[in-house]
């Protein structure tokens, strides 16, 4: 009888551990899902929004994978036009957010991402060129 109780305890512990482990990523997936509009771009702390978002209509939309909350897909564009697609991955351990763009290897990027209410902030990571940028987004409706 003690063996059965011990086995049940181990199964419950495993299920609870898995739930705790998955909750962080699922929170990230839930937070980032949806459509976001670019509001500001800084390059080396200089405001370059006018050249990266001249018509104030750039957007990016994220969808989390239902089975794996640490990854999903994205689309981006201007106005009604979709210009790019790809996949995203989030490494909870390193806190790195990776965009794997379908437009080519040179367009892939790593970011540090933070959220505040309906705002999202990206700071470039890993690649020297990417590290120059900070991007601010506002969530759609």
Q: What pLDDT score does 5 carry?
A: 52
Relative to beta strand 96-101, strand 109-116 is: antiparallel
Three-state SS annotation for 113-124: EEEECCEEEEEE
Largest CA distance in the chain: 71
Residue spans of the domains in the chain: they are: 2-139
pLDDT bracket for residue 13 (50, 70, 90): very low
Q: Is residue 19 predicted with pLDDT exceeding 50? A: no
pLDDT bracket for residue 10 (50, 70, 90): very low
Q: Which CATH class is domain 2-139?
A: mainly beta
Q: What pLDDT score does 4 carry?
A: 47
The answer to whether 64 and 33 are in contact (CB under 8 A) is: yes
Q: Tell which residue, 22, 56, 32, 27, has the closest CA to residue 122.
A: 32
Q: What pLDDT score does 23 carry?
A: 41
Q: Is residue 74 predicted with pLDDT exceeding 50? A: yes
């Amino acid at each position: 009888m003690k063996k059965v109780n011990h086995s049940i305890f181990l199964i419950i512990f495993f299920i609870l551990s898995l739930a705790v482990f998955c909750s962080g990523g699922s929170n990230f997936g839930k937070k980032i899902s949806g459509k976001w509009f670019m509001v500001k771009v800084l390059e080396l702390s200089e405001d370059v929004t006018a050249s990266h978002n001249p018509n104030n209509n750039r957007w990016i939309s994220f969808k989390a994978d239902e089975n794996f909350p640490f990854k999903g897909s994205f689309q981006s564009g201007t106005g009604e036009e979709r210009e790019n697609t790809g996949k995203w991955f989030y490494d909870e351990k390193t806190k790195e957010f990776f965009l794997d763009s379908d437009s080519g290897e040179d367009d892939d990027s790593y970011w540090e991402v933070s959220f505040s209410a309906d705002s999202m902030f990206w700071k470039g990571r890993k690649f020297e060129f990417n590290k120059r940028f900070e991007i601010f987004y506002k969530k759609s409706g």
